[in-house]
Amino acid sequence: MNFNTRSRLNDFNGLKAVASVNHNSRSSFLGKENTAAFQKSFTRRAQNQNVTSPNAFQVQASFKVAILGAAGGIGQPLALLVKMSPLVSDLHLYDIANVKGVAADLSHCNTPSRVRDFTGNDELSNCLKDVDVVVIPAGVPRKPGMTRDDLFNINASIVKTLVEAVADNCPDAFIHVISNPVNSTVPIAAEVLKQKGVYNPKKLFGITTLDVVRANTFVAQKKNLKLIDVDVPVIGGHAGITILPLLSKTKPSVTFTDEEVQDLTVRIQNAGTEVVEAKAGAGSATLSMAYAAARFVESSLRALDGDTDVYECSFVQSDLTEVPFFASRIKLGKQGVEAVISSDLQGLTEYEQKALEALKPELKGSIEKGVAFANKQTVSS
């Protein structure tokens, strides 16, 4: 098992690979455990397509990705990063406003995927037809002084409506929910899919990758480690104390003083607020979020493509604890969540064990709020 993030950051060859017709091997700029693994999957794909001397253009990438909320702060840089993925053949951008220009702009990049724009309810079905991965960053972001839960009233309805369309048009797709509060929007999505009779818990993901990205960055800085070697699992949920970095499980193995554990944990938990305050009313994390979401998209596509070494943290339906949705490390495969990695929860420090118990009531409450919203709406509609 390879849990490290080596070569995720330093390998920008993906851009070169997709831009060069003579390039006979491809490596991804994101989400690759290592170039050798990617080379293996490239060769496998070439064999499957009966291409004898493969190059990046002959070996067709075959995955369709849709981004709902594509003209927003996260949507735009995310669309750019996904446009650079050699695994994507079609990129569908949907928003209620301003998406035409974003798509026109992006479509001039000389990477292979085709970009199409869709706007308004009438075009949502076409946007979603035959899509493999749907990413949902639609919704409003926080302003200083707000909690993620303060976004519930607006974003719950947005996510509900969009997931209804996903259920009707691409029920087999991987669904990546970014819109906050993730601790509630993911359970809402699950209820909507159940109501439509198409819920597959293995294919619904709350995106918590940014917590891992932050934890890796902050730990590497604090302990003076090589950034690409660091991997910290982050469990629980995606708000305040429900975000629990398991510093004792950091790879490579590293020791922290009690004070370092306290400081790092609080910084990782408050990192979203740190950005909201720095942006001073102009929104929340967008660039780091787009980077994190692109990493999760790339990992999902690698899994769909048959790679067998794909691990990420995500907020999914889980029986790891008594809380029905829980973020933890998962193994991704062609059918979605192949395994929830339970070993991370064994041998926790006293600090982590206490923090885990403390987060459960809040997380459970947020999940129940989402479930109640989805079901109340059904009764009254």
Ligand X SMILES: NC(=O)C1=CN([C@@H]2O[C@H](COP(=O)(O)OP(=O)(O)OC[C@H]3O[C@@H](n4cnc5c(N)ncnc54)[C@H](O)[C@@H]3O)[C@@H](O)[C@H]2O)C=CC1
Ligand Y SMILES: O=C([O-])CC(=O)C(=O)O
210 binds ligand Y (CB under 6 A): yes
What are the tokens at 162?
Answer: 């969009």
268 binds ligand Y (CB under 6 A): no
Cα separation values, 316 from 31, 34, 323, Å: 19, 26, 11
289 binds ligand X (CB under 6 A): yes
Q: Minimum CB separation from ligand Y for residue 64, in Å?
A: 27
69 binds ligand X (CB under 6 A): yes
71 binds ligand X (CB under 6 A): yes
Pairing of β 325-333 and β 336-340: antiparallel
285 binds ligand Y (CB under 6 A): yes
Query: Which range touches ligand Y (CB under 6 A), out of 90-98, 245-253, 267-275, 363-371?
Result: 267-275
- Among 64, 83, 92, 142, which residue sits at the site for ligand Y (rule: CB under 6 A)? 142
Contact 329, 322 (CB under 8 A): no
What is the CA angle 15-75-190, rounded to 5? 115
216 binds ligand X (CB under 6 A): no
160 binds ligand X (CB under 6 A): no
The residues, any chain, with a CB within 8 Å of residue 221's CB and separated by 6 or more, are none
- Among 238, 249, 295, 329, which residue sits at the site for ligand X (rule: CB under 6 A)? 238
Question: x/- string (CB under 6 A) for ligand X, residues 319-358?
Answer: ----------------------------------------
Cα separation values, 348 from 228, 275, 325, Å: 24, 29, 20
Map tokens 């002959």 to a residue.
58
* Binding partner of residue 276 among ligand X, ligand Y, none, CB cut-off 5 to 8 Å per kind: ligand Y
Query: Which range touches ligand X (CB under 6 A), out of 26-34, 53-61, 137-145, 248-256?
Result: 137-145
Cα separation values, 48 from 19, 41, 51, 306, Å: 23, 10, 8, 12
Q: Is 238 a catalytic residue?
A: yes
Positions touching ligand Y (CB under 6 A) are 141-142, 148, 180, 210, 272-273, 275-276, 284-285
Positions touching ligand X (CB under 6 A) are 68-69, 71-75, 94-97, 137-142, 151, 155, 158, 162, 178-180, 182, 207, 210, 238, 283-286, 289
Point out the residues that are catalytic: 238
